[in-house]
Amino acid sequence: MYDIIIVGAGPAGLTAALYALRADKTVLVLEKGTFGGQITYSPQIENYPGFAKMSGNEFAEKLIDQVLNQGAEIEMETVTGIRDNGATKTVITEEGEHEAKAVIIATGVKHRQIGLPNENELVGEGISYCAVCDGAFFKGQTVAVLGGGNSALQEAVLLSEGCKKVYVIQNLDYFTGEARLVEKLREKDNVEFIMGTVISELEGEKSLEGLKLIKESDKTETELKVDGLFVAIGLIPNNGAFADIAGLDDWGYIDSDEACLTKTAGVFVAGDCRKKQIRQITTATADGSVAALAACRYIDSM
């Protein structure tokens, strides 16, 4: 019997573990993929307070070491559900079951990918999924943004402030994002829209060198030389296994606010997998501390 089981070993989950351990709680962290989460794919972080520059791997390794030194147990297991027993919870995995007094869900999200060969190899070598995180590395260069919703348009606005040229590539003949963002981009001399077009190929082996495009209407093929590509075609929350116990919104995110509570007493949520406006490392770690302290108060009141 653990005090707290944390599902997910990204920044939110590991921060939650750190706070819980420092409150003298026993903690088990379960992770199905990469210890450290998606941040491990980021080649450089320059917007985390207190650190001028570090790689995503460095950040993750420091956090994992810190949590292990505090006494956490970390296991590679895929969680398939949580059962509410009242005073205790059962976390069900593909390997078995674990018991705890409280559970924190910190499964994060994954970026929707284009699905082209070499995409994973070029992440961090020209391909990014976050202009806030990586836009500064492309100052004075030519980049493309893939997508036509608010996220893509906002990325393009941000990139246009520092990049020489920004192409916005949308597979439809219209944008699905807000008209005010479209107009803001239309007013910029260094932004160009490429509508009704898809990316058919990523050029470059060790780093991104360009894109091959196909116009949907007549299948015309063109090449576009860019230094970077920002993919903004949506996020996929990893919450399917928790729909009943945590409650999801219409987009699949756990329906919780800054208090990090779910609809089930003793089950908490932290990080990008919950409903929120800003998804950054800082907001994930903040959630982790809030959820852990809430879980500790819950256990102490039992």
Q: Which residues are catalytic?
A: 130, 133-134
Alpha-carbon Rg for the chain in angstroms:
21
Give the Cα separation of 172 and 170 in Å (integer): 5
**Nearby residues of 169 by Cβ (< 8 Å), 6 or more positions away:** 144, 145, 146, 147, 194, 197, 198, 199, 211, 213
Is there a contact between 36 and 9 (Cβ–Cβ < 8 Å)?
yes
Region of 134 (left: φ > 0; alpha: ψ -120 to 50; beta: rest) is: alpha
Using CB atoms within 10 A of its CB, is residue 291 exposed (0-12), middle (13-18) or buried (19+)? buried
CB-neighbour burial class of residue 25 (10 A; exposed 0-12, middle 13-18, buried 19+): buried
Q: Which residue has the tokens 């590395």?
A: 137
Q: How many CA atoms lie within 13 A of 237 on its CB side?
A: 25
Structure tokens at 221: 């093929």
Q: Name residues whose C-beta falls within 8 Å of residue 227's C-beta, 6 or more positions apart in sequence.
A: 126, 138, 141, 142, 143, 208
- Alpha helix (H) residue ranges in the chain: 11-22, 56-69, 119-122, 131-134, 150-160, 179-186, 243-246, 281-300
Give dist(CA 6, CA 266) in Å, integer.
12
Read off the tokens for 251. 């987009």
Task: Tokens for 211, please give them.
Answer: 């894109």
How far is 9 from 18, CA to CA, in rounded Å?
11
- Which amino acid is it at 266? G
